[in-house]
Amino acid sequence: MSLGQRDMRVNHAGCLNRCELGPVMVIYPDNIWYNYQTEKDVEEILRSHVMKGTIVDRLLLRPEEGKRH
């Protein structure tokens, strides 16, 4: 995946203290949290947010939200 001049690092971080919410991903330094269920969701986050800077609203995990269904 080509990111141009933007650097990216992917690392495993366990459940990030939000295990009850299912799989989560956080994008730093933006501090945007996502809840994802499929590989397509992850791909959408990487293509939209990481590569283009566009937040994926349908997968956004807000601090006040509970577990997504």
In this structure, are residues 33 and 21 in contact, taking their beta carbons and an 8 Å threshold?
no
Structure tokens at 26: 């956080």
pTM for the structure as a whole: 0.72
Cβ count within 10 A of residue 45: 20
pLDDT at 1: 44
Per-residue pLDDT of the chain (69 residues; tens, 9 = 90+): 444 556 777 777 776 677 777 888 889 888 899 999 999 999 999 999 999 999 999 999 987 775 544
Residue 1: DSSP 8-state: -
User: What pLDDT score was predicted for residue 13?
Assistant: 74
Domain locations in the chain?
Answer: 19-59
What phi and psi, each to the nearest 5 degrees, are found at residue 25? -135, 140
Predicted pLDDT of residue 52: 94
Q: What is the pLDDT of residue 62?
A: 80
